[in-house]
Amino acid sequence: MEQIKNTLLLFTALVSITISSCSAKIKNAKTETVKIYGNCTMCKATIEKAGNLKKVAQVDWNKDTKITTFIYDTTKTNQTEILKRIALAGFDSEQFLAPDDVYAKLPECCHYDRVYKSDFVQKEKVETHSLQNHSKTSEMEVEVNPLKAIFDTYFSLKDALVKSDQKSASTIAKNLLSNIMEIKMEKLSTEEHTVWMKVMSSLKSNTDKISKSTNVEKQRNAFMGISADIYDLIKVSKQEDKIYHQHCPMYNDGKGANWLSKENKIKNPYYGSQMLTCGKTVETINK
């Protein structure tokens, strides 16, 4: 009996040390626990991979108790954002239900009992109904796309590169980076959130490169990656106006490069006045 007690004390101490170590690596650290459903070590690997963000969030899931411990930087994320990422990876919690198609694609050993499914669906219907009633009494309120600020700043960045104004491009990129950091992921639709999680890292990286450079060629090279990520986001977001997906066949050593514009007229951000009209519209986007 004494041996079991000592073992439990040792285990508790090890857990405490692990949590303290993780907290030390993450600034403004907050620790919370939530129950997330799963079965096995493969579930554990997927849940933790989906929830972890380097130096921002650390997730530890216990397959026996189903209890998940979150340690995260409160200035950069929150419990809602972490749980939503985990749900999009296929795992239910009391707050978020995984999409059926994602759950279905999990390995057979990971098909846990979805105990909250019926309750969640019923709750979701009630909340949707309440929102519909609210919209009737608040017709003056307009819902703003949470990605709008990012899209608007992207178009300003494109215009600066059209003018070969590297100083403005650097300043605008700093604003874009700020908009990226301020995104509230819980306000994104499921499709937007899925794409956001795929492009967020590269979008931040390329925007940061432009913000720190006054070399227009380096800025234009990073702009290629930003344009690809913004295109993926715009394709799953509702747009009030037409967006034109345009292509320059000569840039990038003849491999070509794309960008997005609010106007059909070609104004090439990769060459500016050197070859302002080089390119064509390859797709018109209007959702």
- Cβ count near 11 (within 10 Å): 10
Q: What is the pLDDT of residue 185?
A: 82
Predicted local distance difference test score (pLDDT) of residue 54: 87
**Count of domains observed in the chain:** 2
Looking at the structure, tell me whether residues 98 and 167 fall in a common domain: no
The answer to whether residue 57 sits within a structural domain is: yes
Q: Is residue 138 part of a domain?
A: no
CATH at 161: 1.20.120
Domain for residue 7, yes or no? Answer: yes
Contact present, 34 and 93 (Cβ < 8 Å): yes
> What does the pLDDT read at residue 152?
93
One-letter amino acid identity for 196? W
Distance from CA of residue 71 to its chain's centroid?
19
Question: Which residues neighbour 283 within 8 Å (Cβ) at sequence distance 6 or greater?
Answer: 244, 245
pLDDT at 142: 44
What per-residue confidence (pLDDT) applies to 157?
96
Which of 122, 139, 167 is where one domain is finished?
A: 122
pTM higher than 0.75 for the full model?
Answer: no
- 216: which residues sit within 8 A by CB, 6+ positions away? 161, 164, 166, 169, 272
Query: What pLDDT tens digit does each residue of the chain (287 aa) get?
Result: 555 445 444 444 444 444 444 445 788 888 989 999 999 999 999 999 999 998 899 999 998 999 999 899 988 888 888 999 999 999 998 888 888 888 999 999 999 988 765 444 433 433 333 334 433 333 334 456 889 999 999 999 999 999 999 999 999 999 999 999 988 888 888 899 999 999 999 999 999 999 999 999 999 999 999 999 999 999 999 887 899 999 999 999 999 999 999 999 999 999 999 999 999 999 999 85
Angle between helices 190-211 and 79-88 (to 10 degrees): 120
Contacts of 64 (CB under 8 A, 6+ apart): none
Question: Chain-centre distance of CA 160, in angstroms?
Answer: 26
Residues 106, 12, single domain; the answer is yes
Indicate which CATH number applies to the domain containing 15: 3.30.70.100
**Co-location of 89 and 215 in the same domain:** no
Regarding whether 117 and 153 lie in a shared domain, the answer is no
The pLDDT value given to residue 287 = 58
- Domain of residue 261 covers 148-285
Q: How many CB atoms lie within 10 A of CB 227?
A: 22
Please give the pLDDT value at position 127: 39
Give the pLDDT score at 117: 55
Residues 86 and 158 in one domain: no
